[in-house]
Each structure stands twice: as structure tokens, then as C-alpha cells.
Amino acid sequence: MLKVDSIHTYYGNIRALDGISLEVREGEIITLIGANGAGKSTTLMSISGITKPRSGKILFEGKDITSLPPHEIVSLGICQVPEGRRIFPQLSVLENLDMGAYLRHDKEGIKADLDYVFELFPILSNRRHQSGGTLSGGEQQMLAISRAIMAKPRLLLLDEPSLGLAPLIVRQIFSIIERINAEHGTTIFLVEQNANMALKLAHRGYVLQNGVIVQTDTSEALLADNKIKEAYLGL
Ligand code: ATP
């Protein structure tokens, strides 16, 4: 579904990605794990078109999307939930969700997806008229994921959904991510510092270090790997 082929991404003279290659197959949950500053967010932003790679290629279903603007990448079916949620704080929950469906015209489908996100996160339904900025951190993360679902993505990019949230809320959100993958058929590319939870959820994983992929395997194999245990799982 997605093929990232040797991309190099820079911020001015700082090289954040040094020739990253990876693949995501339809229906998978893939995770990219790595320490602070390894380049995880930059990888997602390169895919969603926000930070353009200086060289290399990104193919989505065979189409070269490397130099497309972000809104065209969204309309092809890739949607990113950015780190730190970035919901619209002044807008209500419903208005935030409407913004997610901005590029869609299928009224029936939009209504069905709205019912679906309210079923996934009933708390958002209760708070539908409340402004986004007054929600708790966990609820804002739920809203950010729901807003992305409203765009009807086939590939959902999630940047550190666990960041700053209590363990109970993180478990709730991860189980919903699993449901979205299983029930909605959405392919998931998850970036996480919480490697333990991410690998337990994902089918396969990539390990990123200083802008380079240093390891890839099934999640079971990565969870059992002594180097990974020491460096990322705190075991
Ligand atoms: P974190 O988990 O802390 O978000 P990350 O793995 O997502 O880290 P990135 O945010 O992709 O890492 O950062 C990769 C590298 O690029 C880091 O060295 C970072 O300092 C640098 N970087 C990121 N954004 C910018 C920017 N806007 N300007 C300059 N350098 C940046």
C-alpha cells in the first residue's frame, strides 16, 4: 500500500532522515519505534507531505506522492493525527469532526462515520457541543483520532497517541485503534515512544535510530529481542 524508498529529509542543514525505506501493506498495523529525536515524526510528516523529502520516493498504491501537497495526499486516503493532538480548541466537538470531513461530499457516509466515532468514543457524543479546548487530554486525543476517521482514510498515521496520557486512557485508546483496524479495515502506521504497547498492538515494527532504520521484524520477534528489550522496553 505504502512504499517509502530511501528518503532523506532535512530541516535547513539538519539531516533528520538519512535514507529511510519501509513498507506498509494493506490491513496491517505497523509501528515505528525509536528514542526522542530519532526522526519518527519527520517520517510521518514526510509521508503526509508536510515536510518534503529532499531525495527519495514515496509511493501510495503505486502512485508517486513525494511532491504532492498535503491536501491532495489526504484526498488520496492518507490522514495524519499529529503529535500533541492539535484539535481546534475554539470549535465544538461536532465542528471539529465536521472539519475532518471537509473534503468529502457523501452525506450518508459522513453521517455513518459520525455515528461510528460516537460509538467508539461515547464520551465525545456526550460532549458534542462542548468546545474542544475544554476537553481533557485523553478526550482531545479521542477527538483527534475521530476527526481523522471522519476524513475516511485508508491509511491512518498516528503520532504518539499515548503522549502525556494516563495508562488507563492509553489502554482504552490502543484498544480502539485495534478496533478501527479490524472493523473499519483501516491500515495503521503508528509512531510511538511507548515501544512496549506499540509492539503489542502492531503486526510488524521498524526501529529508527538517528534517522536510520536499524531493524525490522514481526512484533513478536522484536519484543523477544534482547537488544530491543534493553534499549526500548526498559527490561
Ligand atoms: P520525538 O519523539 O521527540 O518527537 P522524533 O523521533 O519524532 O522525536 P523528530 O521530531 O522527527 O524526532 O526529529 C528528528 C530530528 O530533526 C531531531 O534531531 C530534531 O531536533 C530535528 N527537528 C525536528 N523538527 C525540526 C524543526 N522544525 N527544525 C529543526 N530541526 C528539527
Rounded to an integer, what distance in angstroms lies between the CA atom of residue 206 and that of residue 188? Answer: 13
Helix (H, G, I), strand (E, B) or coil at 27: coil
Q: What is the pLDDT at residue 130? A: 96
Helix (H, G, I), strand (E, B) or coil at 13: coil
Rounded to an integer, what distance in angstroms lies between the CA atom of residue 12 and that of residue 19? Answer: 17
Q: Ligand 1 mean position to 225 CA, how many Å?
A: 26
What CATH number did the domain enclosing 162 receive?
3.40.50.300
Q: Taking a C-beta distance cutoff of 8 angstroms, is the pair 157, 79 a contact?
A: yes
From the list 171, 97, 99, the residue with the least C-alpha distance to 138 is 171
For the chain, list residues with pLDDT below 50. none
Q: Ligand 1 mean position to 215 CA, how many Å?
A: 20
| Residue 36 Cβ contacting ligand 1 at under 6 Å | yes
| Residue 194 Cβ contacting ligand 1 at under 6 Å | no
The CA–CA distances, whole Å, from 108 to 11, 120, 184 equal 42, 19, 16
Write out the three cell numbers for 99.
472539519
Q: Which domain holds residue 113?
A: 2-233
Q: Which atom of ligand 1 is nearest to the CA of 42?
A: 11
Q: Ligand 1 mean position to 164 CA, how many Å?
A: 18
Q: What is the pLDDT at residue 88? A: 94
pTM attached to this predicted model: 0.93
Q: For the sheet containing 155-159, what is the strand order? A: 78-81, 155-159, 187-192, 29-34, 204-209, 212-218
Q: For the chain, how many structural domains are there in total?
A: 1
Of the residues 7, 40, 51, 209, which should be mutated to test ligand 1's pocket, given the most ligand atoms within 8 Å of the CB? 40
Nearest 5°: phi and psi at 146?
-65, -40
- The 10s digit of each residue's pLDDT in 160-216 is 999 888 899 999 999 999 999 998 889 999 999 889 999 999 999 999 999 999 999
